Amino acid sequence: MSSLPIVKVAAAHAAPVFLDRRATAEKAVSLIREAAGHGAELIVFPESYIPAFPVWAALWAPIHNHDLFEAMVEHSVDVPGPEVVAIANEARRLGVFVSIGISECSAVSVGCIWNSNLLIGDRGELLVHHRKLMPTFYEKLVWAHGDGAGLRVASTRLGRIGALICGENTNPLARYALMAQGEHLHISSWPPLWPTRPPRGGGNYDNVAANRLRVGAHCFEAKAFGVACAGFMDRRMRDFLVDRDVGVARIVDETPRAVSLFVDPTGATVGEWRQDEEGLVYAELDLDRCIEPKQFHDVVGYYNRFDVFDLTVTRERPRPASWVDRDPGTPVMLSDDPAA
C-alpha cells in the first residue's frame, strides 16, 4: 500500500534568452506549459536561468567585464517582481510546482545581486526562497554571499522538496540541513558549463562526472530522489562570448557541457538524461522507494549519534541596518507659498 506519491518531474535542460530577463521568463512560462501538458507536476529549471549564467567571469579578468556586470544587474529580477509573478501565475493556473534559478536584485543596493533559487507552489505561492550561501570560485566576482533563510524543505502534496544550487551540493552541512527536514526529493541546479582551465593541457572540470557524483552521494545519504537540472548553451550565448573575444572560442567550445538527470535513493541514475541538446527531460519518481533504504543507513534517524554531533543552522535573512527610530520620515512642508 503506497503512502507516498508517484511524481512526474520535468527538468528543463534549456538555454535562457541570453541576458534578457523578460524574454527568458516568457520562455520559462512556455516550457512550464509544455511540461504540464506532458503530465509533469514539478518543473525544474537550471541555476541562474533568468537571465543567464555569468560564464564570462571565468573567461576574462574583472577589469574587462564591467559592462557585463552592469547588464547582469539590469536583467536580474526582483522577488516578487513581474517575471516571478508571471511564472507563479502560470504555476497556479496549471496546478504545478516550479523550481527556478534566478539572479536576484537587492531592494537596498543598485549593485548587489544574489544567485537564488525559488520553489513556487501549485497555488502560486513562494514556498522556498534560497540564496546560494557561497558563490563558487569566479562567481564571487558577480554575486554576493547568501544566507541560511532558504535552507528549508517544503512539505507539499508531492512530498518534501528541498533544493541547493550548484557547488552547495558539495557542502555536507548544507546537505545535512535539508536531510534533517525529511527531504524526499532533492533539486540541484547547475550551469551549462564551468570552465576552470584552457583546453590545452587537459585537467578541465568535468561537469558530468562531478555533478553525477555529488547528486548520487546526496541521494544515497538522504535516501531521497534527485533532480539535477543543468543549463544549456545555445548558439546565441556561444556567439556572444566568441564575438567579444575570438580567443576564448576553444575554451567555450571544448569545456565539457553539464548534464540533466534523475537519481534514485540508491544513487543510481534513472529515467531520461540530456547533455548535448536542448529540451525537457522527464522521470516518474515513486517516493515510496525512499523508505526501504532507511533501514540500512538513516543518518537523521537511528544511524547517527546526536549525543556526539550537534548542528545548529541559523535561518535568518540579514538586514543592512537595524533602525531604532521608527518615524517613517514624512516630509514636512516648509514653504508658505500658496502657489507651491
Cell 548535448 sits at which residue? 276
pLDDT for residue 138 is more than 80:
yes
By residue count, the chain amounts to 340
Question: What pLDDT score does 47 carry?
Answer: 98
Nearest-Å Rg of the Cα atoms of the chain is 21
Are 74 and 259 spatial neighbours (Cβ–Cβ below 8 Å)?
no
Over residues 8-29, mean pLDDT:
98
Question: What is the overall mean pLDDT for the chain?
Answer: 95
Q: Is 163 helix (H, G, I), strand (E, B) or coil?
A: strand
User: Over the stretch 222-242, which tens digit does the pLDDT of each residue have?
Assistant: 999 999 999 999 999 999 999
Residue 175 to residue 251: CA distance in whole angstroms? 31
Q: Which carries the bigger pLDDT value, residue 328 or residue 127? A: 127
DSSP assignment letter at 77? B
- Give the predicted TM-score (pTM) of the model: 0.94
pLDDT for residue 172 is more than 90:
yes
Cell 545581486 sits at which residue? 113
Question: What pLDDT score does 325 carry?
Answer: 79
Percentage with pLDDT > 70 across the chain? 98
First to last CA, the chain: 76
pLDDT for residue 197 is more than 80:
yes
CB atoms within 10 A of CB 279: 15
User: Over the stretch 282-325, which tens digit does the pLDDT of each residue have?
Assistant: 999 999 999 999 999 999 999 999 999 999 999 999 999 988 87
Question: What pLDDT score does 329 carry?
Answer: 74
Helices 82-94, 21-37: crossing angle, 10 deg rounding: 10
Which residue(s) pair with 6 in the sheet? Answer: 286
Name the CA dihedral angle for 150, 16, 25, 263, rounded to a multiple of 10 degrees.
-50
